[in-house]
A and B are shown apart, each in its own frame.
Chain A
Amino acid sequence: MTPEKSPTEKIRCDACPVLCYIAEGRAGACDRYANEDGNLVRVDPLLIVEHAKDGQQNLVEFLKDDSGEWDGDIVAGKTGFVTAVGAGTTYPDYKPAPFIVSSEVNGVDMVTVVSEAIYSYCGVKIKVDTDRHLGPEQNTVRADGEAVGHVTTGEYGSQMLSLGGVNHLTGGSKKEGRITCETMLALCNGEARELTVDDGATVIVQANKPPIVDGELEERMRVGCGSAAIGMFAKQWFDHVDEVVVVDDHITGVLSEHQAGRMLGVPGTGIRIKGRRSTPGRYFQVAEPGSGWGGTDIEDPLSIIEKFDEKKAKPGTSMLLVSTTGDHSAYYELDHDIAPQQRDMPKALADSVKRVQENCEPALCSVLFMGGAGGSLRAGVTENPVALTRSVRQTLTYVSSGGVPVYIWPGGGITYMVDVSLMPKNSFGYVPTPALVAPIEFTMRRDDYETLGGHMSSIVPVESVLEKSGLRSLDGPSGRPSPTAGQNFPWGKG
């Protein structure tokens, strides 16, 4: 059945006799069905990521069977992968209820142990693609006034935030723990959150969305540092302008002094840039960090120029000033007193600024959940918990979170990171401890499960889990390996 759409973008859900009208972006009375952009979608616990029968890696799209009819509860395919989203709920007596399910994939008898783990040890790593200065490294990041993390070391074109972790969750005041938990939960579930850095900016972060820094939407990630930009565009500038300064809080580049300019034979212009010269044409600390040009605090780009050397500078010298994203640019010519005067930018240079912009990738926030699957969780999988850790190390056991591949840190324990934007909607929950609840699945061959001391008598066929629980299938990301695919394991690699 196709849900009726009324003109106000309410939809009428026909999944049960209540026949709720559901407003855009809201769920019905059941919290199982929601209106997402005018479409009726299921949003309740325990998802099945379905994998196409032919072993290809496509996921079957929910609500897309041929008949167009859908009864809301039956999983269409037979080869499903049960994810742990919602594996244990039933308020108020919260108990993880792990499923141990078996399915045959390409003739190999596979077992997946499904659980929702409670992580008191967990955090969120955020990469914010921006040159704007969010705040000094090590400074506290706050949500609703509470300390929830800090600014960590800056990376390529990005500012990095580290939130949560056991100390903010359990080491501070109760309110700090509560707000930390709430902030991580929201970010992991793909919601937007406003974060404030001490002595820094206020940034709105949302997974897979551009950051908003102090109210300004960041559209582009820098093309490179100022020096790299000189290298990339020197040839295109050489014919049209005498001097180019790419303004960058980290490394400002100056064409006439830069290696690339010298190779092209660009003559010196007598320009003297403020800041600390690193190598020819590369300057550090030309201004203070901020949200102006190229991640500096300047609004007037001339303020980074100390002067023009009267002996070397010639009247009429042309100069382009541009930021690392091309978001800021200005064109100047030196007058008779060798003072720069702003002029209309020639078309060729305007085009080159556009080229800088085009070469920038869209700026995004990426949110990785990081958690450690500790002792008690492993006991739910095997009678000999360390055997699971070893099996994961030997890659005989494949770890996924909500059906999505994870990166497992080398070293002790099963500490992993996962891109929350790939996971099913609302995969994360919380418990009042406070701690986050996240799905985790361990997939391995049946033989390997037995070897590591698995709970063999608890294994149920995947079909029966589907029948019993009224589960739903999932519109998952395409092009990702199924957790049960042979290529994930040493025995399945060509």
Chain B
Amino acid sequence: MSGALAALLPDGRRLHLQHGPIDLIIEAFGAPEEIKLAYQQAISRFDTVLDELVTELDILRQATTASVRGAVAKRMLAAIEAHAETFVTPMAAVAGAVADEILSALVSGRILERAYVNNGGDIALHLAPGEVFDVGMALEYQPADLAGRLQIAADDPIRGIATSGHSGRSLSLGIADSVTVLASSAAAADAAATLIANAVDLPDHPAISRQPACELDPDSDLRARLVTTGVGALSAADIETALTRGQRSALDMKYRGLIAAASLSLQDHVLVVGDDSHPLTTSKKLSRQKEVVHA
């Protein structure tokens, strides 16, 4: 069995941490000696993260409010707490929670301008006062002229970005190609993106194929629930119906302060939930809220 791996990427700047399914790309900005210490802290924390998770995996795969011991497990539970009305297990926030945990170890006691921990697209951010992050939004097949770039400033209440969807790595109950969420932490964004992506759906639509999750992944926390395995061509009206369902879920989360913004995409259509001041709507071609645009 292989252990945790750590290596600097060939650019000499970014740190790559990998253990089993966890794959992190990390970059810190600041004085070279501070970056070095920060990377050492991250590596040292990362060493046991997967083992800690694995000891409580059985609990974390259930819709539960049981108490857990691990720091990452606690972050996962906290992230899904606000969504108790929906079926969700702590696993919905695992990628984001790992990113948050490693970011926290990275910056602890260090003086850094900025830093990010990218866990396969679920990203935890650190911003010192006055600093800004430019983030490229590489949505599935999004044409270059629409590929969003957004700015996140230290004053924004955003420290996490996460993306979910049926074409991604995890199984989804919905049909969104991708849902990207900005929230206060990567774990919060991760859980919200998962649930909004689940909500983008057209139950019983003939163009959508589904399969019990356990047939695809015997360990899945979704058990025998039907997950999306294929989405055929949909009419514009169907796409709007599905996206509107996701939008309802996203707006509800926004009103409750759980997310800052969300971008939902399904077959060339993109819908953004945010507000005028919000970074996600600054990209000139993305629509304002409640509007379905044809990309």
Interface stretch of the complex, out of B82-90, B197-205, B210-218, B253-261: B210-218
User: Once the chains bind, are A15 and B143 in contact (CB under 8 Å)?
Assistant: no
Kindly report which residue of chain A lies nearest to residue B180, judged by CB atoms. Answer: A92
> Which of A16, A94, A97 has the most B CB atoms < 10 Å from its CB?
A16
Contact of A90 (CB < 8 Å), options: B5, B25, B267: B25
Known pairs A16-B20, A21-B219, A72-B2; A434 contacts B233 (CB<8 A) = no
Q: Is B118 an interface residue (CB 8 A)?
A: yes
User: Once the chains bind, are A14 and B1 in contact (CB under 8 Å)?
Assistant: yes
Measured in the bound complex, the distance between the Cα atoms of B263 and A428 in whole Å is 28
Q: Is A71 an interface residue (CB 8 A)?
A: yes
Which chain A residues in 88-131 approach chain B with CB under 8 Å?
90-95, 97, 99
Known pairs A31-B21, A178-B268; A92 contacts B138 (CB<8 A) = yes
Contact of A92 (CB < 8 Å), options: B5, B21, B121: B121
User: Once the chains bind, are A432 and B25 in contact (CB under 8 Å)?
Assistant: no
Chain A interface helix/strand/loop/mixed:
loop
Q: Is B137 an interface residue (CB 8 A)?
A: yes
Complex interface: chain A residues within 8 A of B50 (CB): 16-18
Kindly report which residue of chain B lies nearest to residue A28, judged by CB atoms. Answer: B21
Measured in the bound complex, the distance between the Cα atoms of B147 and A30 in whole Å is 27
User: Once the chains bind, are A432 and B10 in contact (CB under 8 Å)?
Assistant: no
Chain B 208-232 interface mask (CB, 8 Å, partner A; 1/0): 0000000111110000000000001
Measured in the bound complex, the distance between the Cα atoms of B5 and A16 in whole Å is 12
User: Once the chains bind, are A92 and B140 in contact (CB under 8 Å)?
Assistant: no
Complex interface: chain B residues within 8 A of A434 (CB): 141, 143
Output the least CB separation between B208 and chain A (Å). Answer: 14
User: Once the chains bind, are A97 and B21 in contact (CB under 8 Å)?
Assistant: no
Contact of B233 (CB < 8 Å), options: A95, A99, A144: A144
Chain A 228-243 interface mask (CB, 8 Å, partner B; 1/0): 0000000000000000
Measured in the bound complex, the distance between the Cα atoms of B147 and A10 in whole Å is 39
Which chain A residues in 55-107 approach chain B with CB under 8 Å?
71-73, 90-95, 97, 99
Which chain A residues in 11-41 approach chain B with CB under 8 Å?
14-23, 26, 28-32
Kindly report which residue of chain B lies nearest to residue A30, judged by CB atoms. Answer: B21
Chain B 279-292 interface mask (CB, 8 Å, partner A; 1/0): 00000000000000
Measured in the bound complex, the distance between the Cα atoms of B136 and A23 in whole Å is 35
Measured in the bound complex, the distance between the Cα atoms of B40 and A411 in whole Å is 52
Which chain A residues in 215-264 approach chain B with CB under 8 Å?
none
Q: Is B54 an interface residue (CB 8 A)?
A: yes
Q: Is A2 an interface residue (CB 8 A)?
A: no
User: Once the chains bind, are B9 and A97 in contact (CB under 8 Å)?
Assistant: yes
Contact of A432 (CB < 8 Å), options: B118, B121, B138, B216: B138
Measured in the bound complex, the distance between the Cα atoms of B57 and A17 in whole Å is 11
Complex interface: chain B residues within 8 A of A16 (CB): 1-2, 19-21, 50
Output the least CB separation between A7 and chain B (Å). Answer: 13
Chain B 106-149 interface mask (CB, 8 Å, partner A; 1/0): 00000000000010110000000000000111111111100100
Complex interface: chain A residues within 8 A of B169 (CB): 31
Kindly report which residue of chain B lies nearest to residue A174, judged by CB atoms. Answer: B143
> Which of A26, A91, A97, A430 has the most B CB atoms < 10 Å from its CB?
A91
For this complex, 28 residue pairs linking A to B, each with C-beta atoms less than 8 Å apart, are: A15-B2, A16-B19, A16-B20, A17-B1, A17-B20, A18-B50, A18-B54, A21-B219, A23-B217, A29-B217, A29-B219, A30-B20, A31-B169, A72-B1, A72-B2, A90-B118, A91-B118, A93-B136, A430-B141, A432-B138, A432-B140, A432-B144, A432-B147, A433-B143, A434-B141, A434-B143, A469-B7, A470-B7
Leading 5 A-B pairs by shortest Cβ distance: A16-B20, A30-B21, A29-B21, A21-B218, A92-B138
Chain B positions within 8 Å of A, measured between CB atoms, are 1-2, 5, 7, 9-11, 14, 16, 18-21, 23, 25, 50-51, 54, 57, 118, 120-121, 135-144, 147, 169, 215-219, 232-233, 267-268, 295
